[in-house]
Structure 1
């Protein structure tokens, strides 16, 4: 997914090796930042911390991102749900959080523009196939650029 490379200041670095699960501070070698898997939880996806940094245990060094393809394919606009879930979980790996515009007390998008960090199914929104399903809004991009 080159989207972070093209829209943020995060450098695109191709991965030409198998997943290295050792902590970067442990052996000094660059490690895999994100590993992707398929799972069967009742949600669309998750991005859990697999390894914390040795120097600061509050910082995640590597994440395991999992997608529930079966749940995703049960959505009417499942292709856009797949893009949204992938974008959403990748957003978690760079520090972005959820927001809930469809909640009983709406939590509106930071910056006022809907993006893939919105929670719930794409079918719950007025524009389930819009570009918001695979993009980050300017507010989130500014955070990514400041952090990375």
Structure 2
């Protein structure tokens, strides 16, 4: 009631994020729990640190079971859900999360690619790595960009915010992950 009065009398309603699809990196519905991940040989030790922070800190408050697969299973039954890669992306693109194996309206495998050259442009490299990894990981869990998002799913452009909430999932996205998994 107080919020409605502050907002000029309009009521706010929570809306579900739409599912993405296999044609982009907007969060196609993941297959099932657990959400396994691995590192391709291209991922440097420096980048693994940012990814690990995102994997554990961002997913911790959710009900998603995140498992490390020592060997990346790239095809067949039981393939790894998330394959982390490091690579060179287009100018201004720090990460991509395309669904590589879309079947029966679900994504069986995402290739999450991060570009350290694009990410490490400012003075907060570790923060920027964790924020970008959290963002791309969210896509692999089915999350889309939150237009007014105050968490890591914000579409922040070239200068991501440094606040800790931008390296985590907020209540809205945490609830989606909990519902989906």
- Specify the TM-score bucket, using the shorter chain as the normaliser: 0.7 to 0.9
The 2-side partners of 1:115 and 1:4 are apart by: 10
Structure 2 match to 1:141: 174
The 2-side partners of 1:121 and 1:51 are apart by: 27
Query: Secondary structure of the residue that 1:123 maps to in structure 2?
Result: coil
Instruction: Tell me the C-alpha RMSD between the 2 structures.
Output: 1.8
TM-score (norm 2): 0.63
Unaligned runs of 5+ in 2: 1-54
Alignment of 1:78-89 (within 5 A): 78-89=125-136
Say which of 81, 85, 88 aligns to 1:33: 81
Asked whether the equivalents of residues 101 and 107 of structure 2 are also in contact (C-alpha less than 8 Å), the reply is: yes
The 2-side partners of 1:31 and 1:49 are apart by: 13
Query: Secondary structure of the residue that 2:65 maps to in structure 1?
Result: coil
Structure 2 match to 1:75: 122
Alignment of 1:42-81 (within 5 A): 42=91, 43-53=93-103, 56=104, 58-81=105-128
Report how many aligned residue pairs link the two structures: 125
Structure 2 match to 1:6: 60
Ranked by relative contact order (alpha carbons within 8 Å, sequence separation 6 or more), the top structure is: 2
Query: Secondary structure of the residue that 2:67 maps to in structure 1?
Result: coil
Unaligned runs of 5+ in 1: 25-29, 100-106
**2:153 corresponds to 1:117:** yes
Asked whether the equivalents of residues 58 and 134 of structure 2 are also in contact (C-alpha less than 8 Å), the reply is: no
Mark the CA change 1:4 to 1:77 in structure 2 (over 3 Å): closer, same or farther. closer
The 2-side partners of 1:11 and 1:39 are apart by: 27
TM-score (norm 1): 0.76
Using the TM superposition, give the Cα deviation of residue 5 of structure 1 relative to its aligned residue in structure 2, in angstroms.
4.7
Asked whether the equivalents of residues 94 and 115 of structure 2 are also in contact (C-alpha less than 8 Å), the reply is: yes
